[in-house]
Amino acid sequence: MAALVVVAVIDWPVEATDFANRLDPPSGTHLLGTDQLGRDVLARVLGGVRWTVGLGAAAVLVSVVIGTAVGLATGWLDGTRARIVGTLVQSVVDLVVALPALLVGLLVAAVLGPGLAPAMIALVVMGWAPFARLAHRLTVTARTEEWVVAARSLGAGPVWILRVHVLPAITGPLREAFTARFVGAMLTLAGLSFLGLGVQPPTPEWGAMLAEGRTYAFVAPWLVAAPAAAVVLVSALAGRSRIR
Amino acid sequence: MIGLALRRSALIPLVLLVASAVVFCLSRLLGGNVTRSVIRSRSLASAPDPAAEARLAAELGLDRPLRDQYLAWLAGAVRGDLGRSFTTRAAVGPEVLGAAGVSATLAILGLAVALAVAVPAGVLAADRPGGAGDRAVDRLGAVVLAVPEFVVGPVLVLVVAVWAGWLPALGWGTPAQAVLPVVTLAFFPAALAARLVRAETRVALAHPSTTTAVAKGLTRRRVLAVHVLPRSLTAVLAEAGPFLAGTLGGAVVVEVVFDVPGLGRLLADAIGSRDLPTIQAGLVVVLAVALVLTLATELLGRALDPRLR
């Protein structure tokens, strides 16, 4: 985790071309070989951490903030009107959760055109819903706990109670859900980029690199293998840290 | 039950109407310069001259008010005419339906392969907790769930088609060409379904009715097949409908990797070249299928499991 952050911060020479050594197999100078423009594949894979892992995490982070705010609000508010709004929000949540991730990506790309910004918007559009559902459920449970009732009878306002008494009580499950959703978001982003609908080349995003490398799969299989291994490695590691 | 089915199916055209209007208007308002993208997809001119752009806009009807454009599209759609592609000028309707047929074949085959592997694996894993099958579902399942289709596809192409040369890497039409796309598509649902079936089977095994069946002296196989299996399929069936619907549009990765002329690839290409009529028609078809399948699986689930009624 910390290693990934370090790798993401460093500026790797992702665009340095060396036309004399194009499509070189892995060797001592280029540990993972070079691509069709003589760019070092290892540098590009490491440089891709910032895009694939960083953007995936950023999208989930925004989703957590939006979803938690919505869930806290719908879970806390009482009364007929609030309940109608809550039911409406929950049915939107149900709809969004049921949609396949790539389909949402296609939908947003259909409306806004392909690109990095539409892909990120798509990730957030589908990302907030599960957090809203979770935060809603947790808040409904928390509001009946004695300490919340006690705080309320002491005259604490709703914002204070939510921030001081409810939010800390529900961050554990939310953090759990963050890692669970992160893998999905990262894979969706890479998938969209693979299709040419997300991050565009020459940016070294792993999905985009895979798509580019596919053209040269016959002569330079390392162009496919390197980004593929990177994606699988990170998603497997994140999946394992979730179980612990 | 029938009342619910009627109520819910009456909603479907309404949802489709609203969704088609939203997609239609938003894609024209927010989508950037459509005529320029279309010209770019037809020729290699990066900066076409304004006169050509204006002529094309008039030809495609993009210079008319948005409301008129949508009503004209709707009037055509009701008669079964979904317009002509911006880029190829071919009729969109037949093209989308043909592609949807290919995607449906791919999705059904993929799901069938996945279930054929996952259901026995899940039941056997639950029958022997901690056994080889149980561990395989755990470990293999975790690996498969971590590997996305855009990795499985190219790696399978590399290993099976390029190095081993056993199967063709690209195309669609012959059974040999269908193997790799179907297998790639089946990976993820197989892992998911195996875990679902295992969890449900554990619950079903612990149920009193199972104890009764065992006490009656039935063979283990008969208990599993007749008394446990039907109970453990409800969760998988609930997932199967959305999966089929998602595959129709969402198998785009598999279709791109293996050059399968399905709906997902048609949509992805159309989005790339801003071919709005194709996008519109494709999305409406995908959405319609998704709504119908979701309703169908819900009704099927209720029919199978009395507790849901």
Residue A14 has pLDDT above 80, yes or no: no
Which pLDDT score is estimated for A243? 41
Q: Is residue B151 part of a domain?
A: yes
Comparing A100-114, A165-179, A224-238, B235-249, the range with the smallest average pLDDT is B235-249
Mean pLDDT of B114-136: 85
Q: Do B267 and A239 touch (CB under 8 A)?
A: no
Nearest to B42 by CA among B31, B55, B26: B55
Residue A72 has pLDDT above 50, yes or no: yes
Q: Do A221 and B158 touch (CB under 8 A)?
A: yes
Residue A113 in contact with partner chain B when CB distance is under 8 A = yes
Q: Which residues form the domain of B139?
A: 106-273
Q: Is residue B147 part of a domain?
A: yes
Which pLDDT score is estimated for B72? 84
Q: Is residue B131 part of a domain?
A: yes
Comparing A46-50, B12-16, B46-50, B79-83, the range with the smallest average pLDDT is B46-50
> Euclidean distance between the first and final Cα of chain A, in Å?
14
Domain count, chain B: 1
Which pLDDT score is estimated for A59? 92
Q: Do A218 and B162 touch (CB under 8 A)?
A: yes
Q: Is residue B4 part of a domain?
A: no
- Burial of A22-32, coded b for 16+ CB within 10 Å and e otherwise, reads eebeeeeebeb
Residue A233 in contact with partner chain B when CB distance is under 8 A = no
Task: Give the CATH number of the domain where residue B172 resides.
Answer: 1.10.3720.10
pLDDT band at B308 (very low <50, low <70, confident <90, very high): low
The reported pTM is 0.79
Q: Is residue B5 part of a domain?
A: no
Measured distance CA(A125)–CA(A129) in Å, rounded: 8
Q: Do A100 and B249 touch (CB under 8 A)?
A: yes
Mean pLDDT of A151-165: 80
Residue A242 has pLDDT above 60, yes or no: no
Measured distance CA(A52)–CA(A120) in Å, rounded: 11
The better pLDDT of the pair B231, A65 is held by A65
Which pLDDT score is estimated for B41? 66
| B chain contacts of residue A232, beta-carbon cutoff 8 Å | 146-147, 151
User: Nearest C-alpha of chain B: how many angstroms from A232?
Assistant: 6
| A chain contacts of residue B148, beta-carbon cutoff 8 Å | 187, 190-191, 231, 235
Which pLDDT score is estimated for A62? 94
Residue A244 in contact with partner chain B when CB distance is under 8 A = no
Do residues A16 and A58 lie in contact, with contact meaning Cβ atoms separated by under 8 Å? no
Measured distance CA(B7)–CA(B30) in Å, rounded: 34
Q: Is residue B263 part of a domain?
A: yes
Residue A45 has pLDDT above 50, yes or no: yes
| A chain contacts of residue B246, beta-carbon cutoff 8 Å | 99-100, 102-103
Q: Is residue B170 part of a domain?
A: yes
Residue B17 in contact with partner chain A when CB distance is under 8 A = no
pLDDT band at B15 (very low <50, low <70, confident <90, very high): confident
Measured distance CA(A30)–CA(A47) in Å, rounded: 15
Measured distance CA(A174)–CA(A197) in Å, rounded: 30
Nearest to B115 by CA among B166, B203, B62, B186: B186
Residues in Cβ contact with B50 at an 8 Å cutoff, skipping those fewer than 6 apart: none
| DSSP at A24 | P
**ipTM computed for the complex:** 0.72
List the single residue in A with minimal CA-CA distance to B22: A111
Measured distance CA(B127)–CA(B309) in Å, rounded: 29
Q: Do B271 and A106 touch (CB under 8 A)?
A: yes
Q: Do A100 and B279 touch (CB under 8 A)?
A: no
Which pLDDT score is estimated for B113? 92
Q: Token pair of B18, please?
A: 């609203």
Residue A213 has pLDDT above 70, yes or no: yes
- SS3 state at B62: coil
> What percentage of chain A carries pLDDT values higher than 90?
6
Which pLDDT score is estimated for A24? 72
Residue A98 in contact with partner chain B when CB distance is under 8 A = yes
Which pLDDT score is estimated for B65? 80
Q: Which of A117-121, A240-244, B71-75 has the highest mean pLDDT?
A: A117-121
Cis peptide leading into residue B94 (ω within 30°): no
**Which candidate from B26, B32, B154 shows the least CB-CB separation from A210?**
B154
- Tell me chain B's radius of gyration from C-alpha atoms: 24
pLDDT digits (tens, 9 = 90+) for A73-96: 888 777 777 778 877 887 778 777
Average pLDDT, chain B: 80
Please state, in angstroms and as integers, the Cα–Cα distance from residue B67 to each residue in A139, A228, B32, following that order: 44, 46, 18
Residues in Cβ contact with A94 at an 8 Å cutoff, skipping those fewer than 6 apart: none
Mean pLDDT of A187-210: 86
Residue A98 has pLDDT above 70, yes or no: no
> Euclidean distance between the first and final Cα of chain B, in Å?
8
Cα-based torsion angle of the residue sequence B179, B184, B189, B193 in order, rounded to the nearest 10 degrees: 60
- Burial of B73-86, coded b for 16+ CB within 10 Å and e otherwise, reads beebbeeeebbbbb
Residue B267 in contact with partner chain A when CB distance is under 8 A = yes
Q: Is residue B137 part of a domain?
A: yes
Average pLDDT, chain A: 80
Which pLDDT score is estimated for B44? 63
The better pLDDT of the pair B212, B37 is held by B212
Which residue of B271, B273, B283, B292 is the best one to mutate when testing the A interface, meaning the one whose CB has the most A CBs within 10 A? B271
